[in-house]
Homo-oligomer: A and B are copies of this chain.
Amino acid sequence: MQLSKQVLQEPMNKIYDTIVIGGGVGGLSAGIYLQRYLLNSLIIDKGKARSFWMQELHNYLGLPPDTQGRTLLKHGKDHYLSLGGDLLNRYVEEVIDTGSIFEVKVKIGRQNSTYKIFHTKYLIAASGIIDNLPFVDNMQNVYDYAGYNLHVCLICDGYEMADKRVGIFGRNERSLEVAFSLGWFTPYITLFTQDMFEISSQFRDRLWEHEYKLVEKPISKFLGANHQMTGVQMMDGSVIELDAGLVSMGSQFHSAYLSGLNLQTQGETLVTDQICRTSHPRIFAVGDLKLGLNQVVVAASDGAIAATGIWRDIRRERGVKRRPSNIDSSILAS
């Protein structure tokens, strides 16, 4: 059930089989599988998963290509709750490993915050990443287009940009390398540094050879209407017309709560084995937090795989369900 403010005031002695941190695609898929394995689970979600911002999923088998990410999330949440899973809309501050169980510390209230501890045997880290966006004076101007035709994922939306005039917004020279992959879809590419970093002469040569344009001036705002970006206006007033944008400015990893646990990482990404288990035997990671392809359907699959791994562990430990004993059989046995 959806845990209310009321529940947070009450003493909480329950030990969950699994707490899932993050109610995005990976976390919800894990939750559905966990509940169907008759385990008791709690999803703690701070809201607004990465897929929440996606206006059209395009490539998730079984859903119409114009399905919004938030529609998928809504279906998944309803499905999870219908199976009796617990759901809490809060932010996880920290996870503490006490040996056989984890303490999950949840922040309550924005000001004068208090904390509530939830207990669990297993943990699934499903809190994902969020993309950095270009910084302009009025960020609403960016939000108006992000997830529409200002894309953040080449794998997802390269097809949408085919033969279009696309602007790439980077945060360093390396982040602009994506131009040579986007170049598979379109030759009409303009790279923007927003005057934040320098470009080497070798990189300039490569851009020239590919006929890609480079704009090194700061951006004033994105132009467009009805969530369709049509270009960029620079601080000096000049305008560059575009049909679409691709943001390549890195991501924030939502995994600060794991910092005390010394999990093995590669960069900021969690290293997992074939069943999404991290270097801690009772912590699993799914979706964009772990190494692999950052795709909705992969996160959903990860959730199924991690939940199954946890069920197998717990099943081996607890064994089978027994028939309820009754008086007759106990008399016979005595």
User: Measuring CB to CB, which residues of chain A are less than 8 angstroms from any residue of chain B?
Assistant: 25, 28-29, 32-33, 36-38, 58-65, 67, 72, 75-76, 79, 82, 155, 158-159, 162-163, 180-181, 183-188, 210-211, 274, 292-293, 295, 297-298, 300-305, 308, 311, 315, 318-323
Contacts and interface: CB of A to CB of B under 8 A. Distances in A.
Given A38-B162, A186-B321, A301-B301, 12 more contacts: A32-B59, A36-B58, A37-B184, A62-B300, A163-B321, A183-B320, A184-B320, A187-B323, A211-B322, A274-B292, A297-B304, A298-B304
A83 to B, nearest CB: 8
A158 B297 contact: no
A159 B37 contact: yes
Contacts of A181: 315
Nearest to A187: B323
A308 to B, nearest CB: 6
Contacts of A303: 61
- As for how many copies of this chain the complex holds, the number is 2
8 interchain residue pairs of minimum CB distance = A183-B320, A301-B301, A36-B159, A187-B323, A29-B61, A61-B300, A62-B72, A298-B301
12 contacts: A28-B61, A32-B59, A37-B158, A37-B159, A61-B79, A61-B303, A62-B300, A63-B63, A180-B320, A188-B323, A298-B305, A301-B302
A297 B308 contact: no
Contacts of A188: 323
A143 B319 CA distance: 33
Given A25-B61, A32-B61, A322-B187, A301 B308 contact: no
Contacts of A311: 184
Contact of A320 (B187, B300, B308): B187
A158 B63 CA distance: 26
Given A32-B59, A38-B162, A183-B321, A155 B308 contact: yes
Nearest to A315: B184
A165 B235 CA distance: 73
A308 B321 contact: no
Contacts of A300: 60-62, 297, 300-301
Contacts of A320: 180, 183-184, 187, 210
Contacts of A322: 187, 211
A323 B164 CA distance: 11
Nearest to A322: B187
Nearest to A58: B36
A136 B180 CA distance: 60
Contacts of A155: 308
Nearest to A83: B159
B60 A62 contact: yes
Given A28-B61, A63-B62, A323 B36 contact: no
